[in-house]
Structure 1
Amino acid sequence: MKTTSSHGLHSASLCTPYLLLVPLGLLAALLVLPSLGSSHARSEGLGVLCRGAGADADGYYTAAAKENMAAVAAADAPAQPELSLLVGVLTMPGRRERRDIVRMAYALQPPPAPAGVARVDVRFVFCGVSDPVDAALVAVEAARHGDILVLNCTENMNDGKTHEYLSAVPRLFAAAPYDYVMKTDDDTYLRVAALVEELRTKPRDDVYLGHGFAVGDDPMPFMHGMGYVVSWDVAAWVSTNQEILRHNDTHGPEDLLVGKWLNIGGKGKNRYNLKPRMYDLNWFMDNFQPDTIAVHMLKDNRRWAATFKYFNVTDGIIKPSSNLYHLP
């Protein structure tokens, strides 16, 4: 909070008599200036007479005063979060109803605690929108919500879209990098606060985190496509690694391919398997867990409704109306 010192108030009161002399000074100047001719004398002006507290003899702020002002400005500035996370939800243009559900799923969650601990941004990720109807509706959606990210690719699931996403992010957000980049799907319910709590204790580089699973005898787990996180440096490495494109290694199951790239490149050495807190919802929808980070396979509204009910998202919201208003 900004305060005014007694010294500053005293300086302001000393300045008042000088201000009363300004009209007389101007009159004197009109009489004296013609006789000065080419004189190099100059007025110090009111800025010197009424310099603020902490200013030196030349009217400039002293080093101590500048440090004090900088400290006050820093105290007033919002605190920087411990970490930042970009969540990219891979979806398709025609799934507008699904995106509305997912938006609500994020919007109704409590923010990570403590307040301000993390900055989390959610973006819905498309390839280029070619259908004119979809293009018009997505444009309206983007204008309304501001959360659409369109990539330079043809819409697909396992034909390079994830590679394009991870490659585009470091370029698109180069001016304000995130600590972590996440890829997830529009049939995944992500509990942001739980994920942030996990990330707070993790390194900020060379991270690969998600629901791990083994492939063959490889000791390094691959991360399931329901949702995985890489640190910013890993995404930047993917974006500049020409070997991936040279070997046409972007076609196939995207989660297996991401793990393959990182294994070959020796990246993502800090691997964290969050299984069983990230899992698929089963056929009977009875395997929810209270410490869930992400639950996957929410392919229809019935499954989303069961998820919201289990995590108390909708408790007590719908009530009978006590007042009904009718137009005459």
Structure 2
Amino acid sequence: MKTASSSSSSHTFPVTASLCTPYLLLVPLGLLAVVLVIPSLGSSHVRSDGLGVLCRADAGGYLVAPGGGGDVTAAVAETKAVAQPKPELRLLVGVLTTPKRYERRNIVRLAYALQPAPTPANVARVDVRFVFCRVTDPVDAQLVAVEAAHHGDIIVLNCTENMNDGKTHEYLSSVPRLFASDPYDYVMKTDDDTYLRVVALVDELRSKPRDDVYLGYGFAVGDDPMQFMHGMGYVVSWDVAEWVSANEDILRYNDTHGPEDLLVGKWLNIGRRGKNRYSLRPRMYDLNWDMDNFRPDTVVVHMLKDNRRWAATFRYFNVTAGLQPSNLYHLAP
């Protein structure tokens, strides 16, 4: 259970239109008019357009288009007019975080931006989004709006910020509505203390079914080796997310309060969903106290709670391998 590119600016793989909701109400209207086409999570007319611009995929890596400046609608239309080969699979990665964690989000963006692209080209389209509940602090609202305008990778849900009081349910149940017009094959929930190696995960998913999938770090309960998946990061297929979204009993019985990863497993077990279960242990794991248990075949490493742990992770996986010598900086080896 939880203890807790050839574009300019971000970490996403070929990007779909990013989203925000009307809960950034404290952002000045002028900024909203420029950068937002706002879908409402509370409305029956939810749309999947919003912050950011569709960006063409190429073989070189992960792409994102900044949401600020210019005519967003025109840019989306222009990009849609360009024929794009259909990827073998599409994955949405939702990184659950909180508004004030600006430094951590910057680190996580870099963690994705500096990863190699899955091969062959167009084998996968992976979009990474940072997921908040309503942003109520006026300072955070302004800063998050600037962040969203620049990076185009923010989703704001219709909930009060929390970890184990319904946020994961809101995320999983909102995604099928928000992206109804352009659904993914898989939806992932992960956290901002998790380093996901995207190519490794894509390689795992390529051979898996596209329906009734529940994949992660299997947590054994009794004789069941995968009663639920650890909250460091787990993947469900699109149909499973749709089922969560449509299942009124989860809310009727107030079954969203408690350890979020255990509850997701409980819903799926009761509903007999996610029958295609895959545990990626030991390739998904917590980083230990001494930071000496990294694995070359890692899919996910969790518990990166501070910059020192992130630095150790980047060092092990040689994230700065492409850094060219320059007189502009002097870094210790």
- TM-score, normalised relative to structure 1: 0.74
Answering whether residue 185 of structure 2 is matched by residue 179 of structure 1, we say yes
Residue 318 of structure 1 and its aligned partner are, at CA, apart by: 6.7
Counterpart of 1:122 in structure 2: which amino acid?
V
1:86 to 80, 87, 92: 92
Larger radius of gyration: 1
Deviation of 1:79 after TM superposition, in Å, equals 1.7
The 5 Å alignment of 1:266-281 reads 266-281=272-287
Q: Which of 124, 134, 137 is matched with 1:131 structurally?
A: 137
Amino acid at match of 1:279: Y
C-alpha distance in 1 between matches for 2:118 and 2:166 = 32
Question: 1:214 aligns to what SS in structure 2?
Answer: strand
Asked whether the equivalents of residues 309 and 315 of structure 1 are also in contact (C-alpha less than 8 Å), the reply is no
Residue 127 of structure 2, aligned match among 104, 121, 128: 121
Point out the structure with the larger helix share: 1
> Match of 1:257?
263
Aligned residue for 1:291, secondary structure, equals coil
> Structure 1 residue 216: deviation in Å?
3.1
Q: Which amino acid aligns with 2:136?
A: S
Measure, in 1, the Cα distance between the counterparts of 2:309 and 2:324. 19
Partner residue of 2:196 out of 173, 190, 199? 190
Task: Give the match for residue 220 of structure 2.
Answer: 214
CA gap 1:248/1:109 in 2 versus in 1, 3 angstroms? same
Match of 1:294 among 283, 293, 300: 300
Query: Partner amino acid for 1:192?
Result: V
Give matches, 1:25-174, under 5 Å: 77-174=83-180
- Cα distance, 1:219–1:305 mapped onto 2, change above 3 Å: closer
Indicate if the aligned counterparts of 2:226 and 2:279 stay in contact, CA closer than 8 A.
Answer: no
CA distances 1:51-83 after superposition (whole Å, capped 9, x unpaired): xxxxxxxxxxxxxxxxxxxxxxxxx94321000
Segments ≥4 residues shifted beyond 6 Å: none
Per-residue deviation, 1:233: 0.2
Give the residue type in structure 2 aligned to 1:153: C
**Bigger relative contact order (CA 8 A; separation at least 6):** 2
CA shift at 1:323, angstroms? 10
1:39 paired residue number = none
- Secondary structure at 1:104's aligned position in 2? helix
- Identity over aligned pairs, percent: 80
1:150-206 Cα deviation digits (max 9, x unpaired): 000000000000000000000000000000000000000000000000000000000
Structure 1 residue 314 displacement after superposition: 1.6
Residue of structure 2 equivalent to 1:311: 317
Give the Cα–Cα distance (whole angstroms) in 1 for the partners of residues 208 and 329 of structure 2. 52
Query: What are the superposed Cα offsets for residues 211-240 of structure 1, whole Å, 9 maximum, x if unpaired?
Result: 111123445431000000000000000001
Change (3 A) 1:243 1:103: same
The alpha-carbon deviation at position 319 of structure 1 amounts to 3.9
| Alpha-carbon distance in 1 for matches of 2:329, 2:207 | 50
User: Helix, strand or coil for the counterpart of 1:167?
Assistant: helix
Determine the C-alpha separation between the residues in 1 that align with 2:328 and 2:230.
48
Question: How many positions carry a matched residue from both structures?
Answer: 249
Q: Deviations over 1:125-164 (max 9, x none)?
A: 0000001011010000000000000000000000000000
Deviation at 1:315, TM superposition (A): 3.4
Distance in 2, matches of 1:265 and 1:175, equals 26
Partner secondary structure for residue 225 of structure 1: coil
| Distance in structure 2 (CA, Å) of the matches to 1:316 and 1:121 | 23
Shift of the 146–316 alpha-carbon distance from structure 1 to 2, 3 Å rule, reads: closer
**What secondary structure, in the 3-state scheme, does the structure 1 residue paired with 2:217 have?**
strand
2:236 corresponding residue in structure 1: 230
